Structure 1
C-alpha cells in the first residue's frame, strides 16, 4: 500500500557559516550557497501540479532554508506553503517514545515492566514482553497494519481496546528480544500504556507535556488541533497523475502515526531534543 501525502520534512544542518551573518558578508554568502545547494536537487523532484513537500533547514538556531514545493491539494490546485499542516505518519512514534520516557523518568513505569502490568489479560504465550521491547520493535507481536484485511477496514472508527483485541491473540513472530521487526502494534500498545499510567487521553498528554511547553502550536493528534492552519490532503498514485488518498480513521494509527505538524514545529522539536553543547 502506497499512500502519498504532502511530505513534512525538518532537517537540522550541522555545517556551514556562523549562525548570525550580516548581508553581503562572506558568512552570509556561505549561508546562501548552502541554501541553494539544498534547494537545487529538491526543486526538480516535485513537479508542478503534483503533491509536494515543505522543507526547513536550521543551523545554530538560524533558518537557512524554509520553502514549500508542489501542491497541498493537486485536484483543488492549492499550492503548499511552509505553514501547511501535514500528517506525520510514523514520525509520531518518536513523540510516543518520549512520552513513555517522561513517565519512566517520573517513576510511573519502568522500561522493564511486563506489558501484563498494564494489560493483565494480554496473551503473551508464556513470554515476557516488556515496554522496552515495544519501544525497540523487538516484541515479536504482529503488526496490525500488515494483517490481511487491514486496508479494507481502515475507515472504521475503533476504540483503543477494540484495536488491541484485533491483534493481541495473534501468534508471536519471534521470541521477544530475539529479533527486530518494525511494528505498529507495539506503538499502539505504548499509546494505551500512556493513557493508563497518566490517566489522560493520549492526545491530551502529548499536548500538555510536549507540544504546549515547546510552543508547537500546530502539532496535535489529528482531530484535536488547536490552530486553524491550512491542511494538506493525501494523495495516491493513479493511472494518470494522482488521486485523493483513501480515507483513514485516525483512531487506527493512533500512537503509531496519528499526529499532524508543520516544519516550523518540527524544527522546534529538533532544537529541544538536540544534545546540549558542552
Structure 2
C-alpha cells in the first residue's frame, strides 16, 4: 500500500465553512481525490440501500459534511448532519467524562469500590472499583436479560445486577459490560443529587455547544429525527419517540447507550475535547490511556477504544448500535483527523463504512468493496412482499435461501426483526426453521420462545425456554436469565388461569391476554 504523506496540505485546500459540503469547494482533481472518492462511494452505496451521514474534519476544518439517503422514506425527508440518531454505546464516553469531572471535584475516585455507594452489594462484588467498571474488567456480565425499554425501579435493577453471576474475577480480564456503565450512571446521580441526564446537560453538553443531544432534556423536534429501518427494510419507531412515549429511560440503557445526537453536535463535542473546554488535557489523557487489551491491536480506556490508524499513529474511537441505528466516532489524534458517521439502517456492511472511509483518506489505491445489504436484508425484503401462509413462507425461505440460512445468525436476526415489527406469525416461521436446522443452540430456542410467547402460545413457549436452558453452555449463557424469567412468568399466568372462576355466561377458553406478564425484551443485541 502507498499511504498519503500530505494529508494536512491536501485538507488545507478544502476551506469549507460549517454547513457546506465538499462540492462547494473548487480544488484541482488530483488533490481532492480522497473526498471525491469517498463521496462517490457513499452515493453508490445509497443505490444499494445505505442511508446515513458523514462528517470528516481536519483539525478545526470540515472537509466533508453531508447526508446520504432518507431520514424518513415516507415523507422523502433527506438525512443531513443535523439529523438526530441514536448514538448507541458512544454514550459511554460521556459517562466516563462525567466520572473524570466528578473525581476532580473530589466527589469520588476511580479507586472507590461499589461498597462505598451501595451498602447492599454482596461480598463477591464489594471490591469492584470504578476503574474496573470503566474498563470492562469488573467481571460483571453484559446485561441482566432485560431489554432497552423494559422499565423496572432503580433499586430492583441494582439488586438484579448484584444477584447476577460474575463471568470473571474482578480485575482479571476484559469482558464488555453495559450494566457496569449503568452502575456508573447511578453513582453519578448519588454523588450529585441530580439525574444522570440533567448533570450531563449542565456540565458537558451545554458548555460544549451541544443543544440537540440527550435522552429527553433537550431540543428534540421530531422533524429532526431519523426514522429507523431494521436491516434496511422494516420501519421502526425512532428511539427518541419511544423515550417520549415512556417519559423515562430504562436503567438497562441509561449511562451505557441510547443517547440521541446529531453529527453537528458530535463535531462540537470533538472540538470541545480538542480544545479542552470541559475536560483538561490530563483528564482527556486518562480517558484515552490503554488500560486493557480488547484483543489484537485494540485496547480499552475509559469509554473509548484505542487503536492504530492506517498511518501507524494513535487512534481513539467508539461505535454503537441497537440493531437499527449505527454510530461511529473515530479520532486520529496525532494526525488531527476526525470521522463521525451514522446510519439509520443497520445492514451487513453498515459497520464497515467507517473503516473504509479511514482507509480511503490514507491509501489512494484502496477501493472498498461495494456496499452489500446482506442475507438478513434480502430475506426480510422477500418476507415483506410475501402474501402466503406462514407455513408456505417457511418452505419458500428454506428453498430460496438455502445457501445463506446455513449461518445460524441469519434467520435469528431476521425472525427477531419481524417479531419486533409485529409480524409474529412470520417470525415464528423463520425462528422455528432455524431451530430445526440448529437444534443444539439454546440461544435460538430462546428466540423462538419469545415469538411463541408474543403469540400467546404458552405451551410452545414453555417448551422453547426449557430447551434454551437445557442446551445452554456451562459458562457465558447470555440468554439464560431471560429464559428463566420467562418460565416464571408463564408459571404465574398458568396458575392464575387455573384459579380463575368460570363465568356461566362466558365459558373459559384457552386464550390469554395479548400481552405477557412482562413486556417482551428488546433483543437487538442477540446474535
* TM-score, normalised relative to structure 1: 0.80
| Residue aligning to 2:236 | 244
| Residue aligning to 2:45 | 45
- Deviation of residue 19 (structure 1)? 6.8
- Deviation of residue 83 (structure 1)? 1.3
- Deviation of residue 268 (structure 1)? 1.2
Corresponding position: 1:73 with 2:65: no
CA distance in 1, matches of 2:194, 2:111: 22
Preserved contact between residue 127 and residue 175 of structure 1 (Cα < 8 Å): no
| Residue aligning to 1:270 | 270
Unaligned runs of 5+ in 1: 1-13
| Residue aligning to 2:346 | none
User: Could you list the runs of 4 or more consecutive aligned residues of structure 1 that deviate by over 6 angstroms after TM superposition?
Assistant: 275-278
1:37-186 equivalence runs, <5 A: 37-47=37-47, 50=49, 52-125=51-124, 128-144=127-143, 147=145, 150-151=146-147, 154-186=148-180
Alpha-carbon deviations, 1:136-172, whole Å to 9, x = none? 0000011226x3xx34xx4333333332223220111
| Residue aligning to 2:320 | none
SS in 2 for 1:192: helix
Alpha-carbon deviations, 1:181-206, whole Å to 9, x = none? 11101100000011011111001100
SS in 2 for 1:17: helix
Pairs aligned (count): 254
Preserved contact between residue 218 and residue 261 of structure 1 (Cα < 8 Å): yes
- Deviation of residue 33 (structure 1)? 3.2
CA distance in 2, matches of 1:246, 1:259: 12
CA distance in 2, matches of 1:41, 1:134: 39
Unaligned runs of 5+ in 2: 1-6, 17-24, 244-248, 276-280, 282-332, 335-527
The answer to which of 130-139 and 98-107 deviates more is 98-107
Alpha-carbon deviations, 1:113-132, whole Å to 9, x = none? 01111111122416510000
In structure 2, relative to structure 1, the CA distance for the partners of 1:192 and 1:51 (3 Å cut) is farther
The answer to which of 114-123 and 163-172 deviates more is 163-172
- Deviation of residue 29 (structure 1)? 7.5
CA distance in 1, matches of 2:140, 2:227: 32
CA distance in 2, matches of 1:25, 1:119: 60
In structure 2, relative to structure 1, the CA distance for the partners of 1:139 and 1:33 (3 Å cut) is same
1:198-209 equivalence runs, <5 A: 198-209=192-203
CA distance in 1, matches of 2:156, 2:72: 33
Preserved contact between residue 115 and residue 126 of structure 2 (Cα < 8 Å): no
SS in 2 for 1:256: coil
CA distance in 2, matches of 1:127, 1:193: 14
- Deviation of residue 218 (structure 1)? 0.8
Rg larger in 1 or in 2? Answer: 2
Preserved contact between residue 236 and residue 244 of structure 1 (Cα < 8 Å): yes
SS in 2 for 1:133: helix
SS in 2 for 1:167: helix
CA distance in 2, matches of 1:35, 1:199: 47
Structure with the higher helix share, 1 or 2: 2
Alpha-carbon deviations, 1:205-239, whole Å to 9, x = none? 00000110011111112x2223536111222138x
In structure 2, relative to structure 1, the CA distance for the partners of 1:271 and 1:177 (3 Å cut) is same
* TM-score, normalised relative to structure 2: 0.44
SS in 2 for 1:113: coil
Preserved contact between residue 74 and residue 242 of structure 1 (Cα < 8 Å): no
In structure 2, relative to structure 1, the CA distance for the partners of 1:206 and 1:170 (3 Å cut) is same
In structure 2, relative to structure 1, the CA distance for the partners of 1:196 and 1:127 (3 Å cut) is closer
SS in 1 for 2:152: coil
Aligned to 1:224, which of 217, 224, 242? 217
CA distance in 1, matches of 2:152, 2:125: 28
In structure 2, relative to structure 1, the CA distance for the partners of 1:138 and 1:75 (3 Å cut) is farther
Corresponding position: 1:255 with 2:248: no
CA distance in 1, matches of 2:201, 2:119: 28
| Residue aligning to 2:229 | 235
| Residue aligning to 2:401 | none
CA distance in 2, matches of 1:20, 1:71: 26
SS in 2 for 1:254: coil
